[in-house]
Structure 1
Amino acid sequence: MFTWKLVQALLGVALIGLVQETHAQTVPSKDCASGVHAIISRGQGPGNDLSVMKALSDKILDQIPGSTTLGFPFDHDPEDKFTAVSSGALMLQGYVADYVKSCPKSKLALVGYSLGAVLTMEALCGTSSLLLIPVPPLDPSYNTSVIANIVYGDETYVPFQPWNTGNCSVGLGIFPRLNPSSCDPFASSLHSYCDYGDNQCCSPLPDDDNLAHHTYMKKYDQDVVDFIKRRLDS
């Protein structure tokens, strides 16, 4: 008997196969990170694969010796946002699997902002939001390699989760996650930054041009680096 979870799983397996045919992150052993390897997914828009996340990439490289970073090359200026999220999430899972296979002793951090935050959460937790294209969750066995997961302004945000960070207390994202417990295997490594005034993850108020959605980097990039350091030490 077919169930929704079975449909998700079958679709996910099929799409993963298609994605991994054209995208991989196989790394020579000499290039494996001895600090952390950070895969950074930017927000929606044209330009390079880091954009406003370059400052965070620079901080990681400067403050955590032996680290490497990658601006994740998903379709960040898409005509179809929903397809970009699902294909990006599956592609990110493929990158994690390939990197861990290439560098089994290295540790990874996944960081996403805005559209990149949605695909990062989808890659970790799988899909439980209405309207989003189904993606299966990342295998929990990767939680020993993926030691930090940080998102800014995630549109699947829901309140009262142990990983929530920032000052949004009761708001919801545009596509709230209906089964946040699917993130539990990665709970200790996850920080979701969402501030009041971010129209995309928290609340349509205040009417200030969504200012809070654009200030995470300046406010929290150093906190993110410090969190990654603590996770590496633990």
Structure 2
Amino acid sequence: MPLITPTLLPLLLALSTLSVAVPHSPLISRADTSCSDIHILVARASTEAAGDGVIGSVAAAVISSSSKTVTQEAIDYPALLSPYDTSSQAGTAAVKKQFAAYAASCPDAKIVLMGYSQGAHIIGDAMCGGGGLLIGAKTEPMASSLTSKVVAVLQMGDPRHTKDETYHVGTSTGSGLFPRTSDQSCESYASVFRSYCDSGDTFCDSGLNTLAHLMYVTVYGTAAARWVVEKIGG
């Protein structure tokens, strides 16, 4: 998407409120973390300021309630609405790079991925493959030697939400702006995926309700954090 269209302009303005609507949890850089039982990679939404973004509060809730040692790291990527294709491709590459770096340093650690909006898109693409048509050249998923370390993938408002996949939670009955093709399906990882999308959401349900796109942490954040804690073993 090389240009901001009139359709996307209201969403751009709405998304710009994400960075002030909910307090962020503190960013923990890779350089400041030692090996932990669980490492959370957090990908912020489009237009949010650099850092972990609104979904970082879910990661913080996991850290505070888990009995395990858990660290958190923000994905370093542009998070732009325009050009969306190059931003999301850079984000997918950043997920793969940061994931591989942590796994190399801490091979016994398990990994959790969290992403909101474009952040949800890029963590899904890193796991399952991405690109094509309006979102750039196709990219390969991470190797199974890395994806096997993943114990939970939490997505909120994913533009690649695809109707009828089994790991979706929420009221959506449609697909997002860039639904997954069969060769990029995440269904084989359904046991560790949870993707929240509600009806009318501009990005994940191809609707007209921008407010729905902004409400996932408020509506589902507590339940999402509880699910992640369960997946990592308490």
TM-score normalised to structure 2 length: 0.79
Q: Which runs of 4 or more aligned residues in structure 1 lie more than 3 Å from their structure 2 counterparts after TM superposition?
A: 25-28
Contact kept, 8 Å, 1:127 with 1:136, in 2: the verdict is yes
Which is richer in helix? 1
- The one-letter amino acid of 1:121's match is G
| 1:141, distance to aligned residue in structure 2 (A) | 2.9
SS of 2:54's partner is helix
Percent identity over paired residues:
26
Q: Which of these residues, 167, 173, 182, is aligned with residue 171 of structure 2?
A: 167
Aligned Cα root-mean-square deviation (Å): 2.3
Distance of 1:231 and 1:109 partners within structure 2: 9
Q: Which of these residues, 127, 140, 145, is aligned with residue 124 of structure 1?
A: 127
Aligned to 1:59: 61
Number of equivalences: 204
Contact kept, 8 Å, 2:43 with 2:52, in 1: the verdict is yes
Distance 1:129 1:191, change over 3 A: farther
Distance of 1:143 and 1:77 partners within structure 2: 26
- The one-letter amino acid of 1:51's match is G
SS of 2:151's partner is strand
Aligned to 1:232: 232
- The one-letter amino acid of 1:202's match is D
Distance 1:153 1:26, change over 3 A: closer
SS of 1:52's partner is coil
SS of 1:233's partner is coil
Contact kept, 8 Å, 2:44 with 2:118, in 1: the verdict is yes
Distance of 1:128 and 1:210 partners within structure 2: 24
Q: Which of these residues, 39, 42, 52, is aligned with residue 40 of structure 1?
A: 42
Aligned: 1:84 with 2:81:
no
- The one-letter amino acid of 2:225's match is V
Contact kept, 8 Å, 1:108 with 1:147, in 2: the verdict is yes
Distance of 2:82 and 2:213 partners within structure 1: 21
Distance of 2:96 and 2:188 partners within structure 1: 15
Aligned to 2:220: 220
Distance of 2:31 and 2:49 partners within structure 1: 25
Aligned to 1:108: 111
Aligned to 2:191: 188
Aligned to 1:138: 142
Q: Which runs of 5+ in 1 are unaligned?
A: 1-24
